[in-house]
Every structure is written in C-alpha cells, then in structure tokens.
Amino acid sequence: MRKLFALPVMIVLSVLLCQSAVAEHNDDHADSWYTYHWGRGLTLPAANLNIGGYFKGSYNRLENQRETFALDDLSLFITWTPHARLRFFTEIEQHNWINNDGVENFVDKLNIERLFVDFLITDSSSFRFGKFLTPFGRWNTIHSAPLVWTTNRPVVTYDVAFAPRANGLMYNYTRIVDEHNLDVSIYLDNSTNLEPKSFNNVTFDKAAGLRINYELTEEFQIGTSYLAYQQLADLDPATGLPVHHLFGLDFLWQHQGYELMLESLYHMRGSTGNRSLEEKGLYLQGVAPLGSKVSAVARYEYFDTHESQTFSYSSSNVSHIGVAGLAWRPYLPIVFKSEYRFGDNNRSIAPSGLFISVAMFF
C-alpha cells in the first residue's frame, strides 16, 4: 500500500522542484557548459547532446475490471547531433514499472522505444534508419502522454490495426508549394530481421508505407497515409502470410487553444485460407479552452470490424465510443487529465470507465 502512495508524493515533489527550475530559467546560453530547462531537458552545447524525457502516472477504473494504479511510462530521450547532417536519437522506456502489484524488475521492463539516425542529404530531403514510430495518421507519431489530450488512445490508433513502431529505412522529403509545406515520407520495414528479439514487441514482419501531409494554412493541415504489411501472428503453414492494406485520411486544425483533429482508416487483410478481415473506423476530437489553463476535451469514435469465412460464418461488430474530459496544464510541460469513456458495443475494445493521469516532460 505504501508503494501506492509513493507515486503521488513523487509527482508533487517533481512539480515543486520543476517550479523552481522555471523560476531560475535563463534564456542566455552563452556562458554555461550545460543548461537545464524544465520540459526541454539537459543540454550540453559543446557536445551537441540533449538528455530529457517524460513520465506518466495513471489511475483507471473501468467497468467490470479491477481498478489500476500505475507508473505507466518513464521515458528517457537522448539526442546527439555530431555533425550538421547527422542526428542520433533514442528513447528508452520503462513501461508499467510500478503498479497495483508492486514494483516490477527494472531491467525486465526496460524497452528501446526508438533508436534511429537521421542523415540530411539536402535542405529538403533526409534518410532515417533504425527503429521509429510508424508514420501512419497523426496520433501515433505524437502519442506521448504530455502531448495528447486524453489518457486513453482512440481505437484506430491502437496496434490492433498496425504496429506502432517500424524498423527499417525512411526517406523524408519536404517542399514549399504555394507558400505551404508539403511533407512526404516513404518507408520500408524489415522488423523480423532488424529488431533484436530481446526487445520482444515486434508485430510487423515486413512493411512498406507512404505518408503525405500538406499545410493548407498555418493552422490547418491535412494528411493521408498508406501502409501494406505482413505480421508473423498471421502465419498459416498452408497459405503463408497474408498482406494487410491500410488507408488513412486525417486533418488537424488549431487556433488560439482550440483544436479539432480527425483520423480515419480502412484496414483490409488478405484472406488466409478462406478467412478475411475488414475494419474501418475514425475518431473526431475537439478541444476548447475554458480559462485558467483548463481545456475541455470531447471525442467521438466509430469502429467497424467484419470477419468472414467462406461457406462458414460471418461476424460484424460496430462500436460507438464517446470520451468527455478535462485537461489542466498549469505549466506547459505538465498536464493533469481526467476523462470518462462510454459507448455502445464497446466493452471488448474500449471498455467504459474513468481515467485520471498526470504526465510531465522533464
């Protein structure tokens, strides 16, 4: 029980310590060999090195499930830029290290979330090699708790549809078209051969994808994604690995603290034997500032999954999910969230219940 109290105490202490860090913050970097900014990490300018990270602690009470209390994420970022054209980045994460059942083994829960090198070919194009977040839609590439408005993820961004991380090579191209940015990413994944088995969270076998984002204005951007992949979980000795196809459309509008974000996807799995799978879904999320650094958040989600087997059975499941909550961001790096999720036919994929969390960049 003492362990359960340790987390809130740690969070309060962090906030108090970080408040003093903000007060001492000085923008002039000229004379110090290191700088620390709350929410921007520790920078060693001479070594072109930055070390930072974030944590998330949460309390969830879902219908027909026992309540949970956990330090879900404790992440460390390391960025090293040894040359104008080269940038190394890694994120090392402890996931669910402290929870209702006590403190888990530190090493067992350690995971390499991301590990890549960026090579800048020109001012508009670059290669990324390593393990990176799969650039499908918007949520997956910004999924860290201090950045998103709700504790729980929308269903269409779960790894039920695609693996959240890819291992391979990505080419990024950016261009100004009519005074607006156009970004294109093309990537190839070979997770089975590139990711050491000890990391143990591979879901792609092989994948290839494309992501395009266009800024219509400074406040409004639209995007589309395509991904084809195979995963070892589908392996059928008789038919081999089926190919999954995903198509996505999304947009983001932001204005003076207001925000509207939509992501939709269509997922089709090629038949294995005589079985096939088809999924489609979307979410639309709105955020409105209420004053005193509190924002109201509301989200609607739709998810439709259809599985069939020739001459045998066909099952279809349509879920409607709603999320309503508040987010309080007293300082930019820290956010407290509270939300309630409810819905229709949502028990198996997104059960109703209460979510409370605190997350902070350090």
Partner 1 sequence: MILQTIARLLLFLGVISYSQRLWADDILVVMGQAFAIEKITVKELANIYRRRTVINSAGERWNPINLSANDPLRIAFAQKIFQQSPEIMEVYWNTQYFQGIMPPYSVNSVEAMLRVLETTPGAVGYISPCHLDKRVKVVLKLSVGDDLAAVCNH
Q: Residue 203: what residue type?
A: T
* 174 contacts partner 1 (rule: CB under 8 A): yes
* 343 contacts partner 1 (rule: CB under 8 A): no
* 124 contacts partner 1 (rule: CB under 8 A): yes
Q: Which is nearer to partner 1, 13 or 147 (CB)?
A: 147
Token match 């219509």: residue?
216
**Residue 259 to residue 287: CA distance in whole angstroms:** 5
Interacting positions 247-306 with partner 1 (CB under 8 A): 256-257
Question: Contact with partner 1 (CB under 8 A): which of 58, 144, 167, 346?
Answer: 144
Question: Contact with partner 1 (CB under 8 A): which of 159, 218, 236, 344?
Answer: 218
- Please state the separation of Cα 247 from the chain's center in Å: 18
**Residue 118 to residue 132: CA distance in whole angstroms:** 11
Q: How far is the CB of 143 from partner 1 (least distance, A)?
A: 9
Q: How far is the CB of 43 from partner 1 (least distance, A)?
A: 7
How does strand 86-99 pair with strand 102-103?
Answer: antiparallel
Strand partners, 125: 173
* 137 contacts partner 1 (rule: CB under 8 A): no
Q: What b/e sequence results for 218-231 when a residue is b if at least 16 CB atoms lie within 10 Å of its CB, and e otherwise?
A: eeebebebebebbb
Q: Residue 67: what residue type?
A: E
Contact 48, 80 (CB under 8 A): yes
Which of these, 108, 75, 107, lies nearest to 92 by C-alpha position? 75
* 55 contacts partner 1 (rule: CB under 8 A): no
Q: How far is the CB of 245 from partner 1 (least distance, A)?
A: 27
Question: Contact with partner 1 (CB under 8 A): which of 219, 235, 271, 314?
Answer: 219
* 233 contacts partner 1 (rule: CB under 8 A): no
Query: Stretches 178-186, 199-207, 298-306, 311-319: which one binds partner 1 (CB under 8 A)?
Result: 178-186
Contact pattern from residue 23 through residue 52 relative to partner 1, giving x for each residue in contact according to CB under 8 A and a dash for the rest: ---xxxxx--------xxx-x------x-x
How does strand 110-120 pair with strand 102-103?
Answer: unpaired
* 325 contacts partner 1 (rule: CB under 8 A): no
Interacting positions 79-98 with partner 1 (CB under 8 A): 79, 84-85, 87, 89
Q: Which is nearer to partner 1, 85 or 347 (CB)?
A: 85
Which positions ≥6 away from 112 have C-beta within 8 Å?
90, 91, 92, 93, 131, 199
Q: Which is nearer to partner 1, 6 or 176 (CB)?
A: 176
Which positions ≥6 away from 274 have C-beta within 8 Å?
309, 310, 311, 312
Which of these, 211, 209, 139, 208, lies nearest to 182 by C-alpha position? 211
Q: Give the footprint of partner 1 on this chain (CB under 8 A).
A: 26-30, 39-41, 43, 50, 52, 54, 77, 79, 84-85, 87, 89, 120, 122-124, 142, 144, 146-147, 174, 176, 179-181, 218-219, 256-257, 332-333, 361
